[in-house]
Chain A
Amino acid sequence: MAESYRRSRWTNGLFVVPYLSVFLTLLVFPLGWGIWLSLNKVDLFGGERFIGLKNYARVLSDPIFGQAVKNTLIFVGVSVPTLVILGLFLALALNKTSKGSSFLRGLFFASSILSVTIVTLIWRIVFIPNDGLMSLIFEFFGWQPIGFLSTTGWSLFSVGVATVWWCIGLPMMLFLAALQQIPKDLYEAAALDNASRWRVLTRITLPSIKSTIMLVAIIQVVMQFQLFGQAQLMTNGGPAGSSRPIVMYIYEVGFLRWDIGLGAAASQILFLIILCAAMLQYWVSTRKEEVDA
């Protein structure tokens, strides 16, 4: 009887049929169809005409796409390390069983449950000129007001602040979970050696949660590359496109200019960029391990 359960049977495959059918129709097919669209001159209301790689050439020569890629890379480059470091710091600070810690843990994770429109609504009302919380604070201290959402440089930064505020919960939780997994005897040994806190952190804690740091970084890179709602709702990509991310470029090309062929081409490029970034990170981390070993 037991052997028959272990035996390969096609009926066992029925368990994966529901998922696979969804997977094929809603992921694999659209992926292929998206690639096909990217090779066509096609707008929202039809009119397919095969044009080869022309859409890709247009995307790559579009200075605005270049700007969007640059914005996105800067955004990812700054927001991901911030999220990782801040998340790690919070996890280290709140890795206790006290009431206060558990309250703060709950607090820092709470923003993650809000939807992007609420988050941006909150931060818009914080950043708006004249009436916003920031401008009141600046006024109070007598500082020169800053147009947080309307000045090149500051706009992307403001989007980043809202994003970190929104996303900080998950990295913190993942790090907390990892900290709990570190074998206690490692610390006991360190305590006997009278090791300093900094030494414990760099020699025991961080190496023990290395894989989690990597996991958090990869998750965040993939997530932050997909920046869209915050930028669209807070700055609409402005001023002068200085906070327009790639996804917003795709959206605008597709739904404002109707050019879904071009939009599809841009989204394939984004796909490649994300894939490369995640793979690069993975490669760097595994290579490091080899070096360490």
Chain B
Amino acid sequence: MKAFNYSPEHLTSNRQLFWIAAVLGVIMMAPVAWIIGLSLKDNAELLRGTEAVFSFPYTLLNYANILESSSVFGWFMNSMIVAVGQTVGVLLLSSLAGYAFARLEFPFRKTLFIIVLFGLAVPEQAVIIARHQMFNWFDLHNTHIGLILPNLSSAFGVFLMTQFFRAIPKEIDEAAMLDNASTFRIFWKVLLPLTLPAQATLGIFTFLQAWNDYWWPLISATKSDMYTLTIGIASSQTNFAQSEGLGFLGAQAVFASLPVVIVYIFFQRHIVTAVSGGAVK
């Protein structure tokens, strides 16, 4: 009889599964390797055939061209401002509201919370056309604020933070109350620090969503200075003209994703914990 490994890990995973996953990982990376390869080739050479990717010489010319002329920097800054703005905004609004819904008593609390929960069910598509009109009235298009505002209304954050504040033991704020702290102080100094894991989860979700948002910036940021990275890259994938060459497009894709990829590599552990932490709730 074989020696039996009692660890639970052993029962859910094994070597074969791991290797299948590893093969899938290679397949997953193939398109990325392809793009990186293209980005390192001369465009004229690629025109004659893309199998040139597999042989020397390689060049950094495409990247040099980006650094020299491209608007990628500006787009990147816009994306950053919008994503950070939205993240900070969502965290702030959701924490305030979540705290009150979870731990305070005020008139219509339950009714309001149920109304907010209904908001969870409303997809962006149901409101986007009307929002576009509203933002016309107030001249909010082509501004950072105009790009940040819409997603602040997302009910998901409030829902998540309310759940989280509920989970904090009552004794903690009761102890603080004995010290005669104001409600806001209890929220800010005592409870908020305890919600950091949830803040991280919500923050990462919000940031990624803002970073990847497509439809709203497409119709709101219509001036090239206000393009986010997403829209800017889309605008350069023009189809009805001679394209700048696959190498240049590849370099643009690599260059534009580099910052987030670097951030991701550095904070991967935190991001992974945060994302899965949110699921446990």
Contact = CB atoms under 8 A, between A and B. Distances in A.
Interface of A: 1-2, 5-13, 15-16, 18-20, 22-23, 25-31, 33-34, 37, 89-90, 92-97, 100-101, 104-118, 120-126, 131-133, 136, 165, 170, 173-174, 176-182, 184, 186-188, 190-191, 194, 197, 200-201, 204-205, 212, 215, 222, 225-226, 228-229, 233, 246-247, 250-251, 254-255, 260, 263-264, 267-268, 270-271, 274-275, 278
Given A117-B214, A118-B257, A274-B123, A30 B31 contact: no
6 contacts: A22-B149, A113-B211, A125-B246, A186-B8, A267-B128, A270-B126
Nearest to A132: B50
Contacts of B46: 131
Nearest to A114: B257
Task: List 4 A-B pairs, minimum CB-CB distance, nearest first.
Answer: A177-B276, A15-B100, A187-B8, A93-B17
Interface in B222-262: 229-231, 233-234, 237, 246, 249-250, 252-253, 256-257, 260-261
Given A125-B38, A190-B11, A233 B28 contact: no
A125 B14 CA distance: 35
B210 to A, nearest CB: 10
B121 interface: yes
Contact of B253 (A18, A122, A191, A271): A122
Contacts of B107: 8, 10, 13
Nearest to B208: A113
B116 interface: yes
Nearest to A90: B21
A246 to B, nearest CB: 8
B114 interface: no
B20 A93 contact: yes
B24 to A, nearest CB: 7
Interface in B251-281: 252-253, 256-257, 260-261, 264-265, 268, 271-272, 275-277, 279-280
